Amino acid sequence: MNLLVLSLFAVLSSVLPGSSAVIPGLTGNPDSLSGEARVIVNDGLLSVEKQNFRLWGDVRLQADAGVFFGAPDFCNRPYEGGENPNHIGNGIILRRARVAVKSLLYGKWFAMVEAEISANPELIYAFAAYKGIPYLTLKGGLTDEDFSMQQNASFHNMTFLERSMSLTLAPSIHVGFDAQYARDWFFAGAGVFGPEMATHDQVESVAANNALGRDEGLSWTGKIAFRPLYDHKDAALHIGAAFSRRDPKLSSGAGYKAVRYSSRNATAINTKKYLDTGIIKDVDHENAWIAEVAGFWKGFYFENAYIARGASLENGLGHQWARGFYSQASYLLFGSRPKFDYDEDQQAGVDFGSNKGDVELAARFDWCDFNTAAFKGGACKAITLGVNWYPTHNVKLMVNWTYNDNDPFANGAGEYTSGDTGVDYNMLAMRLQVRF
């Protein structure tokens, strides 16, 4: 019954942005959301608040379309009078459909669950955090590793349709425990992590490996960052570095004591992973590190990072390093400025200067090299130009043009024909994004 009342007031209060409604007479446990609760709709996002309790959430949708051109051997279906086995198909996809629910309890405990509900349902986040100690956050569950600021930033805040290719080397969301200290100009984070949220194949792999008595591989990840302009409203500067030492994981899709470094060319429509080392076996452990510099001044934002990840092998082949680099910049034309989340140490979208939205121009250079000492996984250089239009706080329209320059070794571990110069092609893609 309480849920029905909350829903009714949510609908009524969402008629006008920034509106609120009081829900009187809800009774029950005094430590629950009872008594007078306030439903607040701000920028189209709903939250329910009472005393030290807050419950809120959002739904985020992204629909993408893309066409590929400029390389006759790969982007035209007919090829020398017949079908082209290396054809890159145009397409329209639902890139993401996410639902997230968040809660603040007693003013000190934070919890979050987020799930993908599209054709491939997946649990993305499921963790709890304690924030009762000043400047310190303690987290446990399925959560981010403190490594890459762009990898950890929410996807709806991304400047381009996809993150940099090189960030496929970055540790991301795993089950574990993490501690963060964030105060003014300094940030530090450290944690120990186990598996990712396993797919069906990975579940079977874990079950088989557990039958042999193998331990789940752990990873130890730490990061420090300096933010000397923390007290400036119109400017920010982030200088950070992170390191991760990673044991082989039972949940690895490559198999036990094996890894595989692979990446698409910054698109989810063309799913061919030209960059691919194939399975690298006999892995003792992996090391990964990143150095990054980012910041903004008024409407101008920049971000640069160099990342490397390598597998130490037991078969005498030594350390196999894959590496990458990206540099990007953007500018908001009509008075808005980027936002920076100093608690989580990441870029956090746009602070709009008016209710009229804004237009953002962006450019990125992206480089990946998966040609290790013993495995030729290919290399790629990509240039992307983008235009983002924010008609409202909740809606975002994006257009990206990308030129991908793959080397001859970028052939999907032998699955595709790359020719003498590699698969080089253009992509023109767009996205409609809605958050409510």
185-209 pLDDT, tens digit each: 999 999 999 887 766 556 766 676 6
Q: Is the pTM for the entire model greater than 0.85?
A: yes
Q: What are phi and psi of 3, to 5 degrees?
A: -65, -40
**pLDDT for the residue numbered 307:** 98
Q: Is the pLDDT of residue 8 over 70?
A: no
208-238 pLDDT, tens digit per residue, is 667 777 777 899 999 999 999 999 989 999 9
315-370 pLDDT, tens digit per residue, is 888 899 999 999 999 999 999 999 999 988 888 889 987 777 899 999 999 999 99
Are the CB atoms for 43 and 17 separated by under 8 Å?
A: yes
Least reliable range by pLDDT among 27-31, 114-118, 232-236? 27-31
Are the CB atoms for 105 and 111 separated by under 8 Å?
A: yes
Please state whether 390 falls in left (phi above 0), alpha (psi between -120 and 50) or beta: beta
**pLDDT for the residue numbered 192:** 97
Q: Is the pLDDT of residue 76 over 70?
A: no
**pLDDT for the residue numbered 49:** 86
